[in-house]
Copies of this chain bind each other. A is one copy, B any other.
Amino acid sequence: MINFRPVARVIAILLAVVGVMMWTGVPFSVYYGEDPMPLLLAGALSLLSGGICFLIKNPQGIPIRKREGYMIVVLSWVSMVASGMLPYLFSGVIPTFPEAIFETVSGMTTTGASVLTDIEIQPKGILYWRSLTQWIGGMGIIVLTVAIFPLLGIGGIELFAAEAPGPTSDKLHPRISETAKRLWFIYVGLTAVLFFVLWALGMNKFEAVNHALTTMATGGFSTRNASAGDFSPVIQYALILFMFLAGVNYTVLYLSFKGRFSDVWKSEELKAYSLVVLLLVVLFTVRVYYATGATDLEQSFRDSFFQIVSLITTTGFVSADYTSWSTSLTIICFVLLFLGACAGSTSGGIKIIRHLVFLKNSYLEFKRIVHPAAIVPLRLNGEIVQGRVINHVFNFLLLYLLIFVVGSVLLAAMGLDFRTALGAMATSLGNVGPGIGKVGPVDNFAWLPGHIKLFLSGIMIIGRLEIYTVLVLFTPFFWRLN
């Protein structure tokens, strides 16, 4: 049976962290002359719940098994959401449960879809908390993908562990906490650098903080109704650069930081990621330039670059309506909702590495057909990928698409039109934010009925936790004894 004692201990710590994080918003409330009580109260409640969980002792020091692992991961996100929505409710910014749950899930999963129709009139303290939920979520994802998923065998992540030699010897330091700390250092560092860059380029401090937090989390919550479209071109270029960085595997970022560029260069995923962005930018720029009347090449380039990087990294900032250019570019943007950037980053979606495994295998499959007796292994970064891992990756890809299809049918049955159903499902599952149809780049999710918001919240969590982690809880294998 599941042993909930060690689970409770992890939840206790998480709730405490969330509580303290909420209080960091109090100075903003005070500075802007707003009521700090919602954040104070929500933080206190979160700490109190954490304290209660902490009382559940684990006297025999029962170890955490795989089974408890899945439970911890899923309950971590659920409890972070349960606690994280309190500031919205207490402040009255989002007074109803389905909406508050949606906004918090969208934050903690770094999705960035919003139910707020007018963001700019909201209290600054609450907006800061909204941005912070994404940053906390991103922090959680880094430790999940780099340290915990490999232990749990989720998503063929064995690949990423072997992907780049780690900072200490040939592997990342085996202890989870050490690994996490190193990568968080990069995460926190890049966030700080981006804050100063944005501030230097003309954002005010409050907006610089918010956009630094949500960019590095590939979250995409903005403090402006028009998202990144409101800012100057140079700020948009800065956001492009940091969105791109946020889509890189944190292990690779750490290697760059250590100056080990020859190791960085070995990452095939990084090269594929860069190449895809490059090719798409050229294609889009040309098409957008003519579609918009061939008036401003720089803007066509910038709009294309921004939207492509924003979609591939699943950040979801918007600086132009990508559904207004042409049908083929709309379909490509829709497909980008499924791409994802590098594994081991905070980006959502399928991730480049899985596509790379598929494409390489497709090519090799032709060789296998022509030479049936030959052994044709698939190599990634010079290492042979085991058949079992390829199988797992393929299964992930197909399961992802199956969930997308089934979810779209259900959304249509709940009353959404064809395009909106596809868009809402793809963007939720991929943790992107904007979709197509009536949840496109210039729309928001406020108009959806409550039960659809709750449904999409579930989809965001399933997508964020790499599908298997959540769904395994619903299989008999998980609950059966031994």
Query: Nearest B residue to A480 by beta-carbon distance?
Result: B370
* A361 contact set on B, CB distance < 8 A: 391, 395
Copies of this protein, total: 2
Tell me if A419 counts as interface (CB < 8 A to partner B).
yes
* A472 CB to nearest B CB, Å: 5
Contact (Cβ within 8 A) A412 B331: yes
Question: B residues within 8 A CB of A471?
Answer: 366
For A312-355 the 0/1 string (1 means CB < 8 A from B) is 00000000000000111011100100000000000000000000
Binds B, one of A18-26, A401-409, A426-434: A401-409
Q: A336 to chain B: closest CB distance in Å?
A: 11
> What are the interface flags for A420-450 relative to B under an 8 Å C-beta threshold, 1 for contact and 0 otherwise?
0100000000000000000000000000000
The answer on a CB contact under 8 Å between A398 and B398 is: yes
The tally of residues in A whose CB lies under 8 Å from a CB in B reads 54
Chain B residues with Cβ below 8 Å from A328 are 409-410, 412-413
A411 nearest in chain B by CB position: B328
Q: How far is the CB of A271 from chain B (nearest CB, A)?
A: 20
Given contacts A327-B412, A392-B365, A409-B332, contact A370 B478 (CB under 8 A): yes
Would you call A455 an interface residue if the criterion is a C-beta within 8 Å of the partner chain's C-beta atoms? no
B391 to A327, Cβ gap below 8 A? no
Beta-carbon contacts of A355-390 to B below 8 Å, as 1s and 0s?
A: 000100111011111111000000000000001101
Residues on the B chain within 8 Å of A399, using CB: 362
Which residue of chain B has its CB nearest to the CB of A376?
B477
Q: Is A418's CB within 8 Å of the partner chain B?
A: yes
Q: Does A394 contact B (CB under 8 A)?
A: yes
- In Å, the complex CA distance between A66 and B327 comes to 42
Q: Evaluate contact between A472 and B387: CB separation under 8 angstroms.
A: no
Write out the residue numbers on chain B whose beta carbons fall within 8 Å of the beta carbon of A153.
368-369, 372
* Contact indicator B421/A477 (Cβ below 8 Å): no
Pairwise interchain contact B391-A387, C-beta atoms closer than 8 A:
yes
- Residues in A lying within 8 Å of B, measured CB to CB: 66-67, 152-154, 326-328, 330-332, 335, 358, 361-363, 365-372, 387-388, 390-392, 394-395, 397-399, 401-402, 405, 408-410, 412-413, 415-419, 421, 468, 471-472, 475, 477-478
Closest CB pairs A-B (n = 4): A394-B394, A328-B412, A328-B413, A327-B412
A sample of 16 inter-chain contacts (CB < 8 A) reads A66-B369, A66-B372, A153-B369, A153-B372, A154-B369, A327-B415, A327-B416, A363-B475, A365-B468, A366-B468, A366-B471, A369-B472, A370-B472, A387-B391, A394-B395, A418-B419
